[in-house]
């Protein structure tokens, strides 16, 4: 990699421009412009639609700090992001390990397909199908009561666990994929070398495999944590009344209350908080990787 970069800089950036340009033009048009518009909105008192009066204000940002509701919800969302990320590691990492190190050939392809299947289904369909499973008298409830000799009442619908389940289901493929890639790059002979030196399988896992797959764990965690903190669809549908999070409040501002300036300001505060968290974690993560 370092060699490639060295070659690139020796030849200068100019020959690379035609390769870079399409992507950066697209990014400028598709992300930078709308996002700038949003920054602009976040400092306005009202939307300049239908000839309404508006002026510049810091009030939208001040609202976040004056009402404890927003910071409470932000903390709830950060906790949600943390929990979902942890569950994704717990569930996704072992699966990635088996895919990368145990299965070979055909069976690997088949299992891989199952892992990325959630990507191919519509998000809403995914969430509503969970609603069918989790509600009282739903599939899980009926099935368990058919098997168990005693009566239990499974009603996970509209609860915090339901939100976690839905989010983990949506995001676990990211963890499996990123970890799979780093695990597959670990030479099997490193594992054998560890064991030949007297390390048990568990010691090899903790001292060799996990440290070497840290880049994948970190990449997967970042890919999951950031969108989960701002998520609104799963909390709203599966969480019901308990599903009020920072993301759903932002969504409300845009969709229900039609207070775009406040929604934009809340979004940028979230962005700032996430960036601060990633920046604070960077030195630790770099050492781990």
Binding site for another protein (CB under 8 A): 187, 189-190, 192-200, 203, 207-208, 211-212
Q: How far is the CB of 183 from another protein (least distance, A)?
A: 14
- Location of structure tokens 């409040």: 249
Write down the least CB distance from residue 251 to another protein, Å. 42
Bridge partners for 56 per DSSP: 44
Residue 181 or 212 with smaller CB distance to another protein: 212
- Minimum gap (Å) between residue 95 Cβ and another protein: 23
Shortest approach of another protein to residue 192 CB, angstroms?
6
Nearest CB to another protein, comparing residues 157 and 183: 183
Residue partners of 203: CB distance under 8 A and separation at least 6: 194
The single residue listed with the structure tokens 């919800």 is 73
Q: Which is nearer to another protein, 216 or 243 (CB)?
A: 216
CB of 33 to another protein, least distance (A): 42
Nearest distance from residue 286's CB to another protein, in Å?
Answer: 13
- CA 205/CA 186 separation, integer angstroms: 12
Structure letter (DSSP) for residue 99: I
Rounded Cα gap, residues 141 and 136, in angstroms: 6
Least gap, CB of 207 to another protein (angstroms): 7
- Which is closer to another protein, CB of 117 or CB of 288? 288
Interacting residues of 141 by C-beta distance below 8 A, sequence separation 6+: 135, 153, 154, 155
- Closest to another protein by CB, 76 vs 210, is 210
**CB nearer to another protein: pick between 59 and 215:** 215
Question: Burial code of 216-247, b = ≥16 C-beta within 10 A, e = fewer?
Answer: bbbbbbbbbbbbbbbbbbbbbbbbeeebbbbb
For another protein, which is the closer residue by CB, 98 or 212?
A: 212
Residue that is written with structure tokens 């509600």 in the block? 135
Task: Specify whether the CB–CB gap between 88 and 168 falls below 8 A.
Answer: yes
Q: Is 236 helix (H, G, I), strand (E, B) or coil?
A: helix
């Amino acid at each position: 990699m370092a060699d490639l970069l060295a070659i690139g800089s020796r030849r200068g950036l100019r020959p690379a421009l035609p390769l870079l340009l399409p992507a950066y033009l697209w990014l400028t048009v598709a992300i930078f412009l709308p996002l700038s518009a949003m920054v602009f909105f976040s400092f306005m008192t009202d939307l300049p639609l239908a000839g309404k009066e508006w002026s510049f204000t810091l009030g939208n940002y001040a609202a976040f700090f004056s009402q404890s509701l927003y910071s409470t919800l932000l903390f709830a969302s950060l906790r949600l992001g943390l929990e979902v990320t942890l569950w994704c590691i717990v569930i996704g990492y072992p699966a990635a390990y088996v895919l990368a190190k145990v299965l070979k050939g055909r069976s690997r392809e088949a299992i891989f397909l199952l892992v990325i299947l959630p990507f191919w289904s519509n998000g809403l369909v995914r969430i509503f199908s969970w609603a069918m499973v989790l509600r009282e008298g739903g599939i899980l409830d009926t099935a368990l009561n058919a098997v168990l000799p005693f009566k239990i009442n499974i009603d996970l619908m509209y609860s915090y666990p339901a939100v976690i389940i839905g989010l983990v289901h949506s995001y676990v493929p990211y963890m499996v994929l990123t970890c799979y890639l780093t695990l597959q790059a670990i030479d099997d002979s490193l594992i054998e070398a560890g064991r030949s030196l007297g390390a048990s399988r568990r010691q090899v896992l903790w001292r060799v495999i996990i440290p070497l797959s840290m880049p994948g764990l970190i990449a997967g965690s970042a890919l999951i944590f950031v969108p989960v903190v701002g998520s609104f669809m799963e909390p709203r549908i599966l969480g019901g009344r308990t599903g009020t999070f920072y993301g759903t409040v932002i969504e409300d501002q845009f969709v229900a209350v039609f207070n775009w300036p406040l929604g934009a300001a809340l979004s940028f505060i979230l962005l700032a908080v996430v960036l601060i968290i990633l920046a604070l974690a960077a030195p630790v993560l770099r050492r781990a990787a």
